[in-house]
Structures are given as structure tokens and as C-alpha cells.
Amino acid sequence: MNKEKAVPPLVEMQGITKAFAGVTANREIDFDVLSGEVHALLGENGAGKSTLMNILYGLYRPDAGHIFIKGTPYTFMSPKDAIAAGIGMVHQHFMLVPSQTVWENMILGLEDLPYILPRNEIREKIRNISSQYGLEVDPDAKIWQLSIGEQQRVAILQMLFRKAKVLILDEPTAVLTPQESLNLFKTIQQMTAEGHGIVFISHKLDEVLSLSDRITVLRKGEKTGTVQTSHTSKEELAEFMMGRKIAFTINKRSQAPGESVLKAEKISILNDRGITAVRNLSLSIREREILGLAGIAGNGQHELCEALVGLRPVESGHIIMNNKELENQTPKSFISSGMRYIPADRKGTGLVPNMDIKENSILKKYWKKPVARGLLINWKVVFKQAIDLVKKYSVSTPSVETPVKNLSGGNLQKLMLGRELSDAPKALVAVHPTWGLDVAATHFVRQQILHERDRGTAILLVSEDLEELLSLSDRLAVIFKGEIMGIFDNPGEATPEKIGLMMAGTPLQFLLKEV
């Protein structure tokens, strides 16, 4: 990478600081992008990467700091300004209007267009740019009809259409199959060859190492380092990401699993669109066992989990707990049978943000004694139990009457954990339980899950964090398009390559045959 000092970087950010309602998301961060380079922005979930780039893209305004585009200072009041300055961004949730066509989305917000949209001209232009970058799309397709990979192509084209010089990609491979990811990488290479600057936001070390020219690591809102990819190593990056070399070893005693507690027998489940998301799936989880479930988001995990806790009906098959067929019954029956759920979206499904801690703590047991006293709720008991819970699970809060919406992500999760685990459940479905938490909270939550397992609970652990799955699971399953590709009875045998292939659709038995 020989860049003369005289050429100013495409983008230079200096001293960027941004806080939201008391939480500092970015603290005095410097960041720059050179022409023709892929600059990866690495960090755990919640480190501040998206915030920083949203500032560059004009969606947020920084509390302090400066932005220079090719040496000239700029202030972006909205994405309009950023786009005009040549900055483009492809978000994790694509900024596309599902009900409209590709060509309509492509020109959304553009001003130097005639009042009456020249459809054919636009379609032509799309086809040209499309073939220039090898991103094939059908201009007349409606967005909701396209696959995720195709939608991403549209989102990228959207930015190229606007002559973006710098392209920010926010966790682009999170929703792609390995093959689609490869295509994306090819596209990125082509773009850098044409002089674009790419910012690649990710929390996946391997990708970042193979793809980028430079890497900047963020941790809890601060920059911990910027390195040349060729000069760094996984260990160094991990240290930048995690902090001091703390050996947070998980104390995992091996347990002999007991009887089967939760069984799914050949269940098929539809998603919200009416399409089959889970197909004839069977699995069984035993007492004192954690079954990990790996898979790319969107392959049926969400529907499976909801069905297992009674929030979604099954089209066929059985869900059996304690010898009772529970499928299609009310969520309350599942709860009464001892099933607990830690969902992925904490503030959405799990908690009521406007209510306080004590009111949230009884969500799963408000009809049972001693909380319930006949038709009434015994708030004195609730208050006391809430205090105990908050202490036991180290939830940091001024009081149990603080509205839950004021709690930080980590404390929210601990509260939810406390609530779900507080009355000795028989089974637990935990989805991304440590997503977005800091190191200490993550460790705490994992310990609690293990503790629960030791106590006898059967646990289904769904996570995108492979390291978490490998270290916590007793058995590891991989799901693809609603079917189990295979289960490792010994997670030690599960190499990232094997898992990756299974996540992309190769059943385990085929992999074993090759050995």
C-alpha cells in the first residue's frame, strides 16, 4: 500500500464523540479511509462501530469532533449531505422500501431527475452499473420478492448509483450464505480496484483478516488500535477487542445427562409469510444438558424457538414435555410445564419497558401463589422477591421501582435471566443470551446458564457466537433451512470448517463419509 502523504485520505474523522442518554457510544475516535483500501472496523457487538459510521453517513450528529472529506471539512446534517460528499452506506437492515421495485428504490431521494420519472432511462442505467460491478438485479422486481443476498446487491447498487466514493458495509455477511459472501468479496475487490474506499464493519476476525488492508478495533466506544492487516495476528486483534489477556475460563464440569425432558418430533412450522420455516425437525434435550444450535440467522431458529415455548403453532408433529403433548397449546401451559424463554429481542418480547422492575419480574408467575392472592396481586411479596432477584443476579439499579427502560443492556439481560430462572424451570430456550453485553456481563450470564444446567435444566442454546456455542454446549446441532444438518455429540469434533459447511447445507453424514 504505497500512498503518498500528499494525497489526503478520502475520509478523515477526528476526535468523534457521541453519547446517547447517558451512554457514551463513541469517545474521541480517529478514523480514516484511503482510496483503494478495505479498512475493517472490528469490535464486539455494542462497541460503537455502527454509531461511528452512522455519524459519517450523516444519520447521527456527533457531540464533538470533525470530519474531513479529501481534506475539506464537512458537517453532515443528514444523509443527503453525506451522499453528496460521496459517502454511501449499506446498513444491516437494508434501507429499501419492500413494496416498491428495484428501480424505484434505486432513485429514491435523488434530486437531479426530471419530475416525471424516466423509467426506461433509469432501468438502462441500472443495467449498466449492474454489469460494471457484476451485481445482477432485475430492475422491475419488487424488493420483498428478492432474496436477502439480492436485496443486499440492490443496496450496494443504490450507493454506487449515487457515485459513492466511500462505501460503508455494516456486517454485510451476517445474513449471507458462504457462497454469497464470496461473491460480495469479489465485488469489494473490484470496487477497491476502481479507487473506492471500503469500510467493512464486522465482528468476525477471520473475515476481517482475509479481506482488509487495515483494521481499526473499537472496544466499548474507544479505539484500541489501528493496524496493517499484514502486520497483525488474531491474538493481537483479540486482545484489542477484549482488553487485557483475561483468562475468563468457564468452569464447566462435565455432567451426566439424565432423562429426556424436551422432545420435538418431526415438527413443521410456518413463518409469518406462510412459508415452511421448519421442516420435519426432531430433537431431544435431556436433563443437565445444553444443546447448542448453530446456524445462519433466518434458517428457522426463530420459528423453532417460538414453537418450543408456545408462541407459535406447529403445522404437524409433536412437542413433548413431561410426557405431555404441548404443541399448539397456550404459552401459559408451556410456562406451567416448566418451560422458560430468553428471547433475542429483550425489550420487545421479553420485557415491558414502561413498567418497573418489580412489575416485570412477575410476568411469568403473576397468577401463582404467593404473588397472587386470589384475584389480587400481593405487591408486598412482589417487592421483596424483586429485591432478592436484583441482588442475586447483580442487576445494577437504584431501586426495584425503576422503569425497566432505563436499564442498560447488560442489566436488562441479567434481570430477564433472573426472572426466567428464578423458579427452577425444567427447560430453557436461550437465544443470543450474551449479544451486546460487555465482557463481565457475558461471563456472568454464561456462568448462570451453566449453573442452571448443573441444577438439572435442559437447555437449548441458540447463538451466532461459535465460540460461545463450543464452550458451553454438551452437544451441538446445526440448522439449515429448517432442518437439522447434524448433531455433534462431542463438540470437540466440531471444527469451524465442518460447521460452516453444515450451515451452508451439507449434512454431517456426508462430511463424515469424506473422512
Comparing CA positions, the residue from 121, 132, 51 lying closest to residue 110 is 121
CA 445 to chain centre: 17
Query: Nearest distance from residue 254's CB to other proteins, in Å?
Result: 33
**Contact string (CB under 8 A) for other proteins, positions 69-98, x = contact:** ----xxx-xxxxxxxx----x-x-xxxxxx
Q: At what angle do helices 178-193 and 148-161 cross, to 10 degrees?
A: 10
Q: What residues from 310 to 329 belong to the interface with other proteins (CB under 8 A)?
A: 310-311
Out of 364, 414, 446, 498, name the contact with other proteins by CB under 8 A. 364
Instruction: Give the three cell numbers for residue 205.
Output: 476476525
Yes or no: say if 371 and 383 are a contact pair by the CB < 8 Å rule: no
Question: Cβ closer to other proteins: 110 or 440?
Answer: 110
Q: Which stretch binds other proteins (CB under 8 A): 27-35, 343-351, 438-446, 465-473?
A: 343-351
Instruction: Give the contacts of 177 (CB within 8 A, at least 6 positions apart).
Output: 149, 296, 504, 505
Yes or no: say if 300 and 278 are a contact pair by the CB < 8 Å rule: yes
Out of 9, 343, 425, 482, name the contact with other proteins by CB under 8 A. 343
Q: What residues from 113 to 172 belong to the interface with other proteins (CB under 8 A)?
A: 113-117, 158
Binding residues for other proteins, total number by CB under 8 A: 81
Query: Nearest distance from residue 320's CB to other proteins, in Å?
Result: 19
Out of 1, 3, 7, 20, name the contact with other proteins by CB under 8 A. 20
Query: Nearest distance from residue 203's CB to other proteins, in Å?
Result: 18
Angle ∠(501,504,509) on CA atoms, nearest 5: 50
Query: Nearest distance from residue 84's CB to other proteins, in Å?
Result: 8
Question: Cβ closer to other proteins: 255 or 271?
Answer: 271
Instruction: Give the three cell numbers for residue 45.
Output: 457487538
Instruction: Give the three cell numbers for residue 35.
Output: 482510496
Q: Give the whole-angstrom CA distance, residue 76 versus residue 164.
A: 15
**Contact string (CB under 8 A) for other proteins, positions 435-474, x = contact:** ----------------------------------------
359 binds other proteins (CB under 8 A): yes
Out of 8, 36, 149, 353, name the contact with other proteins by CB under 8 A. 353
**Contact string (CB under 8 A) for other proteins, positions 48-67, x = contact:** ---------xxxxx--xxx-
Question: Cβ closer to other proteins: 441 or 508?
Answer: 441
The DSSP 8-state label assigned to residue 367 in this structure reads T
Q: What residues from 224 to 243 belong to the interface with other proteins (CB under 8 A)?
A: none
Q: Which stretch binds other proteins (CB under 8 A): 197-205, 247-255, 353-361, 421-429?
A: 353-361
Instruction: Give the three cell numbers for residue 52.
Output: 461511528
Return left, alpha or beta for 408; rule: phi > 0 is left, psi -120 to 50 is alpha, else beta.
Answer: beta
Q: What residues from 403 to 432 belong to the interface with other proteins (CB under 8 A)?
A: 406, 409
Q: Give the whole-angstrom CA distance, residue 192 versus residue 268.
A: 45
Query: Nearest distance from residue 119's CB to other proteins, in Å?
Result: 8
Long-range contact set of residues 114-122: C-beta below 8 Å, sequence gap at least 24? none
The DSSP 8-state label assigned to residue 41 in this structure reads E
Q: What residues from 198 to 217 belong to the interface with other proteins (CB under 8 A)?
A: none
Helix (H, G, I), strand (E, B) or coil at 298: coil
Comparing CA positions, the residue from 464, 389, 453 lying closest to residue 427 is 453
Query: Nearest distance from residue 60's CB to other proteins, in Å?
Result: 6
Yes or no: say if 415 and 360 are a contact pair by the CB < 8 Å rule: yes
Instruction: Give the three cell numbers for residue 214.
Output: 487495515
